[in-house]
Chains A and B, each alone.
Chain A
Amino acid sequence: MRYLPLQPEDRAAMLAKIGAPDIDALFADVPEVARLDGPIHQLPDHASEMAVERALGAMARKNLTAGDAPFFLGCGAYKHHIPASVDHLIQRGEFLTAYTPYQPEIAQGTLQMLFEFQTQVARLFGTDIANASMYDGSTACGEAIVMARRITKRGRVLMSSGVHPHYVAVAKTMAKFTRDEIDHRDPALTAETDITALIAAIDDDTSCVVVQYPDILGRIDDMSALAEKAQAHKALLIAVVTEPVALGAIKAPGEMGADIVVGEGQSIGVGLNFGGPYVGLFACKEKYVRQMPGRLCGETTDAEGQRGYVLTLSTREQHIRREKATSNICTNSGLCALAFSIHMTLLGEKGLRDLAALNHAKAVKAAERLSEVPGVELVNDTFFNEFTLKLPSDAREAVRHLADREILAGVSLGRLFPHASELSNGIVVAVTEVATDADVEQLADGLASVTQNQREEVPA
């Protein structure tokens, strides 16, 4: 077996040193009932590298790859071009095969990178500080709600209808155990967000208000007034960003007064990967640092006075506080944070702004083109690189028909809100720099013919 260096004569010599007659003697503590007499039956024996590669390659080929089709899916995961050097650098063994930097003297590479990552995230979000990453955007959002509870000691959560429904579902799962009460409705297919209603709903029992920016339908709204109202009632404003590239074009939530900003960092440096691994971003005002979950990297000096970095404030964490920890999080998403940080370094402020401008312009042109399709209506007034269309018929059907023609058209709202029939004609379309004019034309043509067929099949 190619991954096991011990040879039969090594094993014999080692057993002799140990003073055990055979390997079974080392498993003597296992109760009789649980001892297996040989390899587990239903599983195959070992395989060569070539055989494994072939078997998995065959599975991979059964999928329609985003790069092989006109591609317009978003809703929390976005296809952007990732520079080649990102993947090269994260595969350096010193990054890839290192552990969590608990021995800082020999982990300065990871630690300095995390310090830079924290700085990049804080600046992107317009907040004071950020942590060294979370599992993904949805769990970061859930942890932010729990953190707000710790700070405000209140349990009423107002979740905007514009928050990604999976994020809402994760928050509701957490709430079953924290006993938070989550106030949430499905979104309406309108140009206006529910920000006015949220402002009205904040009271002295409110722990936090959670808004997504841009929201699940792609809409953008100013959250300054919301922040003011929340502050007046000592509630916290949590902003969720699922498309961080947007912040190269629009104001940061921190600039508008958000107390905690969380997000999904996949869009910068990390591939689609069918949903994971991704990287959760978590940032907040400095005064809340000790209530923050997750790992933090801080600057210090060594015994010779040289600048260096360590994991710090770890008394918040599970391995010290145990049942009093701020969260049970242990592993974070270090390698994806590295990919995010490298891509962000390659972009720089100029590159991020240019990339955001390119995304926005392409999306605006695509929205204009697609709303020319008969029966198709653009829902949004405002958007960044993602917008919602209202089709004349069921959007999930349309998406399936278009997939048969190898066009990945977008995310139907029926997929995200299966119980909400009033949303079933909605489709969210994301247009990033990877979409060409020809792709948009194919989508427009496809939508025209699919909706026409559907209208003929099912008279309105």
Chain B
Amino acid sequence: MSMNREGRPTRPQDAEATSETFTGNRALMLEEPLLFEIGDATLTGVDLEAAPQAESRLGGLERNRPIGLAGLSEPETVRHYTRLSRQNYAIDLGLFPLGSCTMKHNPRLNEKVARMPGFADVHPLQPVDTVRGALEVINELAFWLIDLTGMDGVAMSPKAGAHGELCGILCIRAALEARGDAREVILVPESAHGTNPATAAFAGYRVENIPANADGRVDLEALKERLGKGGEGDCDVAGVMITNPNTCGLFERDMKAISDAVHEAGGFVYCDGANFNAIVGRVRPGDLGVDAMHINLHKTFSTPHGGGGPGSGPVVLSEALCPYGPIPFTAKTKDGVVHLVEEENAAEFDHNDSFGRMVAFHGQMGMFTRALAYMMSHGADGLKQVAEDAVLNANYVLRSLEDVLDAPFGKSGPCMHEALFSDKGLADGFSTLDIAKALIDEGYHPMTMYFPLVVHGAMLVEPTETESKAALDQFIGALRSVAARAKAGDKSLHAAPVHAPRRRLDETAAARKPVLVWREPEVAEAAE
């Protein structure tokens, strides 16, 4: 028998652990300095051909002073960003229950399609005959959006949800001005996304609140009373902005009656479509009397959030608002050819009343291709299933937690795609923030917190349809455990998170003396 006395030990040995390391790294949790601390002005990660000899035509405006940009070689660049990426939570890592944000799985087919050279490598101002396929994508997506919402037209160019809101409100404003009706007020429920009042104010409207009833929904009678103020034919309300399903995760039961009342008073109904995922393929907003609604392609139709954009916010419009939609838009004529309608040919397509242009070029093409791939993959049957599973998952979460967390509207019936809880019943000194940060240690991104404003210490959980029952059960277990600790007054919660790349950060210090760019240490000190 041969004996091998060399080699590594194969059983763990007893030893005291220390968390201190020379580098500050903790195994796979890697610290990464700032680019400007590791790179410099001479390093580069690209090889370029030498510039040919040519006379300068820069008019004596050469940039002679140092710019101060740091470069890295390619391997250093790849490592810098790979290491940074690992300090992020993401849907690819786990459930992302951020209410009102619809963090669903991002299919990779969409990424592949968006990168086809025929879409990714096409200039927006190429002659129209060389981009027929791109226009076809826009038109096809427009067709799906119109059909899914039961509306009459769609403005494709808005760059994100809030931009879409602005588009919708500008359409309303243009329609009112066209009939010589200068109304000044937009009504917004208190539970609305902050973008709603911000948008209305930006468009020059005065914002008034619509009261909610005890069920967490718009108070129809109060709304009617407000619309009637000023007497017959003298209403100052341009429109209402309503989120449906609303931000408490509830369907506005009276939506049709609300629309009818607003229309009767001569106003328009804007619907914030952020929560469309709950009803896609099952309910059409057009059947509820909506005049304009933006659709966040980065929510319902799975285009990636990318750490905060890019988004895309097409706005579907009712017949009454269509003529005012922004250019450019695409229209299909009877011969089946898709046309790009811009400033110059708007008359040809009977679109002279457009309120103007919202962006350069045609909108978020890269998001259109992704969203279309998603829609075609699901089809009408699959999209209906999306809404059903999203609502099922949310109700499952609601009913699995309501015995440990206060659910303010739990008694009023089922929720839609998100479940709302409050901080009521937590031990003294314990807040929603403690629960959120403790979830981080459990390996989850927290739910939306302190929104909507109408519920104290709100926690809004939106699981989406792309979570399995097993994934939900584990999340429910984690949240039950954390809630139990918060009710029992477990002070260790205040320290959470302790296992994340960073502990709680000092936002007060950041806001009092904002440091928004890196400065060389000596320059930074001199500025103190």
Contacts and interface: CB of A to CB of B under 8 A. Distances in A.
Answer whether A and B touch in the complex at a CB cut-off of 8 Å: yes
29 contacts: A3-B378, A4-B466, A36-B281, A52-B109, A65-B117, A83-B45, A93-B90, A95-B307, A99-B98, A99-B103, A101-B307, A105-B503, A106-B497, A112-B84, A119-B36, A135-B359, A273-B366, A274-B119, A277-B312, A306-B503, A323-B207, A329-B163, A338-B81, A345-B71, A346-B71, A349-B67, A349-B71, A350-B41, A419-B343
A67 B61 CA distance: 32
Nearest to A338: B307
Interface residues of B, number: 206
Contacts of A27: 251, 282-283, 391, 414
B84 A113 contact: yes
A448 interface: no
B308 interface: yes
B381 A251 contact: no
A118 interface: yes
A342 B109 CA distance: 24
A271 B369 CA distance: 14
A310 B505 contact: yes
B147 interface: yes
B118 A310 contact: no
A77 B391 contact: no
B404 interface: no
B70 A345 contact: yes
Interface in A336-359: 336, 338, 342, 344-355, 357-358
B283 A30 contact: yes
A20 interface: yes
B521 to A, nearest CB: 13
Interface in B443-472: 445-446, 451, 465-469, 471
A336 B305 CA distance: 11
B343 A418 contact: yes
Interface string A52-64: 1101111111111
A329 B195 CA distance: 7
A3 B107 contact: yes
A47 B377 CA distance: 5
B170 A173 contact: yes
B261 interface: no
A92 to B, nearest CB: 5
Given A15-B392, A64-B130, A34 B288 contact: yes
Nearest to B363: A276
B357 interface: yes
A60 to B, nearest CB: 3
Interface string B278-319: 010111100110000000001000001111111110000000
Contacts of A115: 34, 516-518
A4 B465 contact: yes
Contacts of B194: 317-322, 325
A235 to B, nearest CB: 23
B500 interface: yes
Contacts of A58: 133
Contact of B360 (A49, A138, A304): A138
A104 B505 contact: yes
Given A4-B385, A97-B106, A350-B71, A17 B137 contact: no
Contacts of B378: 1, 3, 46
Nearest to A55: B376
Contact of B123 (A331, A408, A418): A408
Contact of A43 (B58, B98, B369, B380): B380
Contacts of B74: 83, 85, 346
A94 B88 contact: yes
A345 B365 contact: no
Contacts of B282: 27, 30, 35-36
B247 to A, nearest CB: 12
A98 B501 contact: no
B52 A365 contact: yes
B195 A129 contact: no
A31 B253 contact: yes
B57 A63 contact: no
Contacts of A6: 389, 392-393, 465, 468-469
A276 B159 contact: yes
B395 interface: yes
A248 to B, nearest CB: 7
Nearest to B34: A116
B201 A31 contact: no
B112 interface: yes
Contact of B377 (A39, A52, A255, A274): A52
A304 B53 CA distance: 56
Nearest to B105: A3
Given A44-B379, A220-B59, A60 B310 contact: no
B256 interface: yes
A441 interface: no
A276 B361 contact: yes
Q: Which of B69, B96, B307, B359 has most chain A Cβ within 10 Å? A: B307
B111 interface: yes
A39 B283 contact: no
Contact of A323 (B201, B307, B344, B367): B201
Nearest to A279: B310
Contact of A135 (B35, B105, B163): B163
Contacts, number: 725
Given A220-B58, A312-B514, A358-B51, 20 more contacts: A6-B469, A11-B389, A27-B391, A28-B413, A36-B283, A73-B126, A85-B78, A87-B115, A92-B85, A96-B106, A98-B90, A123-B517, A135-B160, A170-B359, A176-B356, A250-B58, A276-B159, A331-B311, A335-B307, A364-B56
A348 B44 contact: yes
A324 interface: yes
B516 A328 contact: no
Nearest to B394: A26
A302 B59 contact: no
Interface string A1-18: 111111000110111011
A354 B147 CA distance: 51
Nearest to A120: B69
A103 B125 contact: no
Contacts of B251: 27, 29-30
Interface in B142-171: 144, 147-148, 159-163, 165-166, 170
Q: Which 9 A-B pairs have the closest CB atoms?
A: A348-B71, A60-B118, A335-B306, A275-B361, A93-B92, A62-B133, A275-B124, A418-B344, A277-B310
Nearest to B327: A169
Contact of A109 (B85, B124, B344, B506): B85
A390 interface: no
B437 interface: yes
B117 A60 contact: yes
Nearest to B125: A411
B49 interface: yes
Given A4-B382, A250-B58, A348-B72, A59 B306 contact: no
A89 interface: yes
Interface in B193-207: 193-195, 197-204, 207
Contact of A342 (B77, B120, B126, B416): B77
B11 interface: no
Contacts of B386: 4
Contacts of B271: none
Contact of A274 (B103, B123, B312): B123
Contacts of A170: 356-360
B308 A101 contact: yes
A140 to B, nearest CB: 10
A118 to B, nearest CB: 5
A39 B281 contact: yes
Contact of A59 (B105, B112, B118): B118
B407 interface: no
Given A133-B309, A351-B44, A302 B503 contact: yes
A85 B79 CA distance: 11
B82 interface: yes
B382 A1 contact: yes
A338 B307 CA distance: 9
